[in-house]
Amino acid sequence: MRTSNHLIGLVNFLTFLASIPILGGGIWLSSRANNTDCLKFLQWPLIVIGVSIMVVSLAGFAGACYRNTFLMYLYLWAMFFIIAALLGFIIFAYAVTDKGSGRPVMNRVYSEYHLQDYSGWLEERVASQSYWSKISSCIRDSHVCGKMRRTYNGGIPEPVEMFNLRRLSPLESGCCKPPTECGYTYLNETMWNPGSGIVGSDPDCGRWSNYQQQLCYNCNSCKAGVLASLKKSWRKVSVINIVILIILVIMYMVAIAAFRHNKRIDNDEPYGETRMEKSQPSRIHF
């Protein structure tokens, strides 16, 4: 009996430890939502799931230590729903970030991003004007474009040859420069000269501005950059969540087996055998 309780207690302690990466992933996404990705609602379900696993595992640990059947039942049922919620959240995260990727550009190391490559619920939410005004304001306040500037020899801008060899982030590529097909001439990372005129047909060509508070923050390429950045962040977190989900399922099955073993002992049932029942059992059981 002690061995089973110790096993259940150990499983709950490991479950508590497993909740830390989930909660950490939610906090990491929250920090990116404040500083980079600027989409501030997707991380909260992950944080809630992580905190729920912590609380439930502590309840199960207490139930194992004090042989409290109610707490153990609470732990098993609650953990079942939490595992189902985590599975559903992983599927949801993959579904909303499934489509779209950067397009390679000739003679450039960085990729460029196009809104038409993305579709679905997340794309519609990001592209909506009411919501995009908040996202673009967040990107502007994060100074992501100002941070990409490089100078040499006392303030000389980075030459275009070196700029073309940089691996720009989706936000830097989509929000901080005009699309390559527009034909702008490079002056520095966030200053581009239209020269003799815009040659591209992309509507973003006319949306670009050298005004540092505007740049390409109203461009479709910037919206696509946000979606690409979200996809990159969520895929990293989803890999961790899948590993933790597998571990949780294994530990949950071990906890069920140990709990059933405790019930057999409490009912004076020999392990591996079926107890004989009376044909007319009495109303009081001991």
Mean pLDDT of 198-222: 89
pLDDT band per the 50, 70, 90 thresholds, residue 202: confident
For residue 185, give the 3-state DSSP assignment. Answer: strand
pLDDT of residue 173: 94
Q: How far apart are CA 161 and CA 203, in angstroms?
A: 26
pLDDT band per the 50, 70, 90 thresholds, residue 233: confident
**Count of Cβ atoms closer than 10 Å to residue 221 Cβ:** 23
pLDDT of residue 194: 85
Residue 200 has pLDDT above 50, yes or no: yes
Largest CA distance in the chain: 99
Task: Answer with the residue of higher pLDDT: 13 or 211.
Answer: 211
What average pLDDT does the structure give for the chain? Answer: 82
Residue 211 has pLDDT above 70, yes or no: yes
Residue 252 has pLDDT above 60, yes or no: yes
Alpha carbon 25 to chain centroid, angstroms = 7
99: which 2 tokens?
């489509």
pTM, entire model: 0.78
**Count of Cβ atoms closer than 10 Å to residue 172 Cβ:** 20
pLDDT of residue 281: 52
pLDDT of residue 285: 40
Radius of gyration of the chain from its Cα atoms, rounded to whole angstroms: 28
261: which 2 tokens?
């073993």
For residue 112, give the 3-state DSSP assignment. Answer: strand
CB 80 within 8 A of CB 86: no
pLDDT of residue 122: 85
Residue 276 has pLDDT above 50, yes or no: no
Mean pLDDT of 246-258: 85
Mean pLDDT of 163-176: 93
pLDDT of residue 40: 67
Indicate if the alpha-carbon torsion angle 67, 70, 75, 80 is positive or negative: positive
pLDDT band per the 50, 70, 90 thresholds, residue 61: confident
pLDDT of residue 76: 86
pLDDT band per the 50, 70, 90 thresholds, residue 5: low
Q: Which of 67-71, 166-170, 220-224 has the lowest mean pLDDT?
A: 67-71
127-159 core/surface letters (b: 16 or more CB in 10 A; e: else): beeeebeebbebbbebebbeebeeeeeeeebbe
Mean pLDDT of 26-41: 71
- Helix runs in 179-273, H state only: 204-207, 220-266
pLDDT of residue 284: 39
Residue 3 has pLDDT above 60, yes or no: no
